[in-house]
């Protein structure tokens, strides 16, 4: 009876452990699926009339992670929110730096009330660092002077013994160096123009183009007046813009000015991208048949260089 009870207890423990293990695996897979499939939404608004203003926002995991960047006439600010909590510490660090500089300028006679313990520590550490740096400089200068003195004495001795033999020995070394450089350049050229590298480049190019098509804005509002001041350059720029619009299917409302140099108007774009798109693009390159040989050749060239 006791043995049967022990076996039953062991089976129940194993069953509980297996259920817990499976539950953890399912939770991990669920979290990974949500992270890969949830879209990262972005929105950019920019305008330039009298003053340049821009605002960019990115939200991911159904708004759990939010990043916003603001630019207003040379002033920049950013804000990161995770579960509604702010993680913006740029202002605090700037104030801290200002306190330290004020303390330095006043020769360390700043009132103790206005200075925190952290700033005092920073000032003391910097003073210690300065003293050690000066001592190291002095020791280095002494070593350099002794080395230069030894080199001068060695040169004088070499002149006495005869410099013709040494010059004769240096020439073949230069030739060897030149031949090794040529060999390295030829190896790099062979690697660049090899079939494996060409195949990997074409695959990566296709994956990048696919990513660009998925990242492209879903909604665009624009009213822009643009001109470079040169009719030829303005035409070239607008040719490139129209090619991009034809390839991606996006439409911008841009008016060309072939006489004046001008950039004025507003632009608002929004779209989304999923993390799984980046993962699939990466896997297309790595799982390619030519990747192994390409990676081996790359390793060999790194070792040779």
**Could you list the pLDDT tens digit for every one of the 305 residues in the chain?**
677 778 888 888 999 999 999 999 999 999 999 988 889 999 999 998 888 999 999 999 888 899 999 998 888 888 898 887 887 755 444 444 444 444 444 444 444 444 455 555 555 666 565 566 566 666 666 666 666 655 655 555 555 454 444 444 445 555 566 677 777 788 888 888 888 888 888 888 888 888 888 888 888 888 899 998 888 999 999 998 888 888 777 788 888 998 889 989 999 999 998 989 999 989 888 888 888 888 888 888 777 76
Residue 268 region, left (φ>0) first, then alpha (ψ -120 to 50), else beta? beta
> In whole angstroms, what separates CA 30 from the centre of its chain?
29
pLDDT tens, position by position, 238-281: 998 888 888 777 788 888 998 889 989 999 999 998 989 999 98
Nearest to 267 by CA among 215, 216, 219: 219
> In whole angstroms, what separates CA 217 from the centre of its chain?
23
Distance between CA atoms of 203 and 195, rounded to whole angstroms?
A: 12
**Domains of the chain: which residue ranges?**
194-304
> What pLDDT score does 125 carry?
62
> What pLDDT score does 42 carry?
92
The alpha carbon torsion through 157, 160, 164, 169 (nearest 10 deg) reads: -20
Distance between CA atoms of 226 and 232, rounded to whole angstroms?
A: 13
Pairing verdict, β 75-82 and 85-86: antiparallel
> What pLDDT score does 122 carry?
58
Distance between CA atoms of 295 and 196, rounded to whole angstroms?
A: 10
Question: Backbone phi, then psi, for 55, in 5-degree steps?
Answer: -145, 130
> What pLDDT score does 28 carry?
94
DSSP code, position 212: H
Nearest to 38 by CA among 245, 303, 275, 255: 275
DSSP code, position 86: E
Distance between CA atoms of 5 and 3, rounded to whole angstroms?
A: 5
Distance in angstroms between the alpha carbons of the first and the last residue of the chain? 74
Distance between CA atoms of 272 and 15, rounded to whole angstroms?
A: 43
Enter the pTM of the model.
0.56
> What pLDDT score does 168 carry?
46
């Amino acid at each position: 009876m006791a043995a049967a009870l022990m076996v039953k207890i062991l089976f129940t423990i194993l069953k509980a452990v297996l259920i817990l293990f499976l539950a953890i695996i399912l939770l991990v897979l669920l979290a990974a699926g949500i992270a890969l499939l949830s879209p990262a939404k972005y929105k950019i608004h920019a305008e330039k009339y009298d003053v340049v203003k821009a605002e960019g926002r990115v939200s991911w995991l159904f708004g759990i992670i939010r990043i916003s960047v603001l630019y207003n006439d040379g002033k920049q600010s950013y804000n990161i929110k995770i579960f509604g909590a702010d993680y913006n510490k740029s202002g605090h660090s700037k104030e801290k730096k200002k306190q330290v500089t004020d303390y330095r300028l006043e020769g360390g006679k700043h009132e103790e009330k206005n200075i925190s313990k952290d700033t005092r520590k920073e000032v003391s550490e910097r003073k210690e660092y300065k003293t050690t740096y000066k001592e190291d400089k002095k020791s280095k200068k002494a070593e350099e002077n002794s080395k230069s003195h030894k080199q001068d004495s060695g040169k004088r001795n070499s002149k006495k013994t005869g410099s013709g033999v040494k010059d004769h020995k240096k020439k073949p070394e230069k030739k060897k160096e030149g031949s090794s450089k040529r060999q390295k350049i030829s190896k790099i050229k062979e690697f660049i123009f090899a079939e494996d590298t060409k195949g990997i480049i074409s695959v990566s190019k296709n994956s990048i183009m696919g990513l660009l098509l998925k990242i492209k804005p879903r909604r665009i509002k624009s009213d822009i007046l643009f001109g470079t001041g040169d009719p030829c350059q303005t035409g070239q720029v607008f040719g490139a813009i129209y090619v991009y619009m034809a390839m991606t299917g996006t439409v911008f409302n841009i008016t060309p000015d072939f006489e004046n140099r001008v950039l004025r108007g507003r632009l608002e774009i929004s779209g989304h991208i999923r993390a799984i798109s980046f993962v699939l693009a990466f896997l297309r390159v790595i799982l390619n048949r030519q990747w192994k040989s390409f990676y081996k050749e790359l390793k060999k060239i790194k070792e040779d260089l």
